[in-house]
Amino acid sequence: MSAPNILLITSDQQHWNTLGVLNPEIRTPRLDQLAKEGMLFTRAYCPNPTCTPTRASILTGQWPSQHGAYALGTKLSETHPNVNDAWRAHGYRTALIGKAHFQPLANTDEYPSLEAYPILHDLDFWRSYQGPFYGFDDFELARNHTDEAHVGQHYALWMEAKGLTNWRDYFQAPTGSQGPREHRWNLPEEYHYNAWIAERSNHYLEQYAKAGQPFFLWSSFFDPHPSYLVPEPWDTIYNPEALTIPEGRPGEHDGGSPFHRAAMESTPDFRAQGIVSRSGHFIHGAHSHLVDRAKLAKNIAVYYGMVSCLDKYIGLILDRLDALDLADNTLVVFTSDHGHYYGHHGLTAKGPFHYEDGVRVPMIVRWPGQVPAGVRSDAIQSLVDLAPTTLSAVGLEPPQVMTGVDQWPSWKHADHHVRNDTIVENDHEPGVAELKTYIDSRYKITVYRNFDCGELYDLENDPDEYVNLWNDPHHNELKARLLQRFLQAEMAKEARPMPRIAGA
């Protein structure tokens, strides 16, 4: 048998509970089947609840504070070591199809970006560009969510090759003359980027199977990241009136962070709250999160429709894996880069918030004969562990520079817990919107830089995180103990590029 393959499938901004196997209000038959054939992790966490930092952590096996792409609008250096160095050194073919987001939309002389204007619209460039791109041998990229004007790159080339030469009519114009759509996208489903990612992923699967070459393939989907927009019929397969609408509780943010308090105002005064951007850049989530209940219900219905549509195209990739007789020799990992708020705690967008809804992610691992089938595990997982764990799973030694841990024992045995805890970092703007959270099997504590407030939740007795114990004098001893563990966990994730080899 040839060396085992790795197929990583990711969604974008998917709430951990939006799987049919966990939530009877949503239908995801293909992901449910994947869970029946593998292990479903119910406590998987992102290292940062935004795209760029977590995606860079998946690639590098390092925390955002270590690899440098610590926030949206930052860049992962092309020279930074990543998992592709190891894959390629051992004869693997590496590929990324879909969303990368390792670079910002801004392009400067000091920090040039392939994922930025104007180059992302230069189809002649993408038609001939062969790399390099972060060690991927094969890559086909796009940048837009739904109908954003960022559309271009390989996705636009694919639409043109399919005969949709007027594809710009279905997307926002860069000048703003064509505004965003809502709920129903008039783009025919056959030209949706889900179809593109599935088709091109299957193309490379066929190439690798024909060549008998082991691979690391990352199929990186864009949905269900808002805006809430999907082709018909997916926009109407769920009845808004039949869905549970998450909501906050009156007073739950009293004594909490200024970000939470301001989000509950119709016209927040962030300067009065002490939230002032020194860089002049937008702080994600620093806006009013108030949405009319009927509008929110429709948004949720479309969000669920986006998940179900995504599920269909993930199924096409899994079908091709079967048809090529690759499934038994392929480790499949499904997850999302971070979670989402659609009414939870009154929030409706990601930002400087670390509730479970935003930092927990769905995660399924399947490898017939290696990973137990039909099992659920509550072992704590972090996406920073994916690189070292997948290397270890196929018998390769993770590089010393990786600071994620090897979770392979917990993937092989549901009752084995490698991690006692994990950390979530969030650095929208240093010193302004900067927070970190420590999570163990029961408790969760969040610290904000330059603010005296904090959050402390007992996830066992308060799983929905409505009772903040930070200022409760009866929990001072617990808070002190958790803060000590927090510091110890920070020390444990320090990078050690080489082992100690001498006494002096």
Of all residues in the chain, what percent are helix, strand and coil, respectively (each to 5)?
30, 15, 50
So what's the pLDDT on residue 276? 67
So what's the pLDDT on residue 484? 98
Rg of the chain over all Cα atoms, to the nearest angstrom? 22
Q: Is 239 exposed, middle or buried (0-12, 13-18, 19+ CB in 10 A)?
A: exposed
Question: Does the pLDDT at position 175 exceed 70?
Answer: no
CB neighbourhood size of 85 (10 A): 15
How many CA atoms, within 13 angstroms, populate the side-chain half-sphere of residue 64?
31
Query: Over the stretch 108-131, which tens digit does the pLDDT of each residue have?
Result: 999 999 999 999 999 999 999 999
Query: Over the stretch 275-291, which tens digit does the pLDDT of each residue have?
Result: 766 666 778 888 899 99
Question: How large is the average pLDDT for residues 3-11?
Answer: 98
Contact of 219 with 97, CB cutoff 8 Å: yes
Angle at 136 between CA 132 and CA 141, to 5 degrees: 85
Percent of the chain with pLDDT over 90: 87
Asked if residue 118 has a cis previous peptide bond (ω within 30° of 0), the answer is yes
Helical axes 193-211 vs 293-323, angle rounded to 10°: 20
Query: Over the stretch 289-344, which tens digit does the pLDDT of each residue have?
Result: 999 999 999 999 999 999 999 999 999 999 999 999 999 999 999 999 999 999 99
Contact of 80 with 68, CB cutoff 8 Å: yes
So what's the pLDDT on residue 179? 66
Q: What is the DSSP letter of 436?
A: E
So what's the pLDDT on residue 202? 98
CA gap 257, 433 in Å, rounded: 10
Residue 377: name the closest of 45, 41, 46 by CA: 41
Average pLDDT, the chain: 95
Query: Over the stretch 176-200, which tens digit does the pLDDT of each residue have?
Result: 556 678 999 999 999 999 999 999 9
Handedness of CA 301, 305, 306, 310 (dihedral sign): positive
Residue 371: name the closest of 402, 330, 317, 428 by CA: 330
Q: Which two tokens stand for residue 9?
A: 């499938």
CA gap 436, 444 in Å, rounded: 11
CA gap 29, 32 in Å, rounded: 5
Query: Over the stretch 186-244, which tens digit does the pLDDT of each residue have?
Result: 999 999 999 999 999 999 999 999 999 999 999 999 999 999 999 999 999 999 999 99
Question: How large is the average pLDDT for residues 137-146?
Answer: 97
CA gap 435, 258 in Å, rounded: 12
Question: Does the pLDDT at position 482 exceed 90?
Answer: yes
So what's the pLDDT on residue 180? 76
* Residue 271 vs residues 258, 278, 405: alpha-carbon distances, Å: 10, 11, 40
Q: What is the DSSP letter of 362?
A: E
Contact of 235 with 305, CB cutoff 8 Å: yes
User: pLDDT band at residue 272, thresholds of 50, 70 and 90?
Assistant: low
Higher pLDDT, 433 or 361: 361
Q: Which residues pair with 424 in a beta bridge?
A: 437
So what's the pLDDT on residue 428? 84
Secondary structure (H, E, C), 70-124: CCCCCCCCCCCCCHHHHHHHCCCEEEEEEECCCCCCCCCCCCCCCCCCCHHHCHH
So what's the pLDDT on residue 431? 83
**Count of residues for the chain?**
504
So what's the pLDDT on residue 35? 98
So what's the pLDDT on residue 261? 86
Question: Does the pLDDT at position 136 exceed 90?
Answer: yes
Question: Does the pLDDT at position 273 exceed 70?
Answer: no
* Residue 110 vs residues 18, 143, 236: alpha-carbon distances, Å: 41, 21, 46
Query: Over the stretch 31-51, which tens digit does the pLDDT of each residue have?
Result: 999 999 999 999 999 999 999
CA gap 315, 77 in Å, rounded: 33
Question: Does the pLDDT at position 265 exceed 70?
Answer: yes
So what's the pLDDT on residue 447? 97
Beta strands in 92-241 (DSSP E): 93-99, 138-142, 183-185, 215-220, 229-231
Give the type of residue at 458: D
Contact of 340 with 284, CB cutoff 8 Å: no
Domain spanning 5-492: CATH superfamily: Alkaline Phosphatase, subunit A (3.40.720.10)
Residue 7: name the closest of 312, 225, 326 by CA: 326
Q: Which residues pair with 95 in a beta bridge?
A: 138, 217
So what's the pLDDT on residue 157? 98
Classified as helix, coil or strand, 47 is coil
So what's the pLDDT on residue 496? 83
CA gap 384, 422 in Å, rounded: 10
CA gap 75, 72 in Å, rounded: 8
To the nearest 10°, the Cα dihedral for 8, 13, 14, 16? 90
Contact of 95 with 215, CB cutoff 8 Å: yes
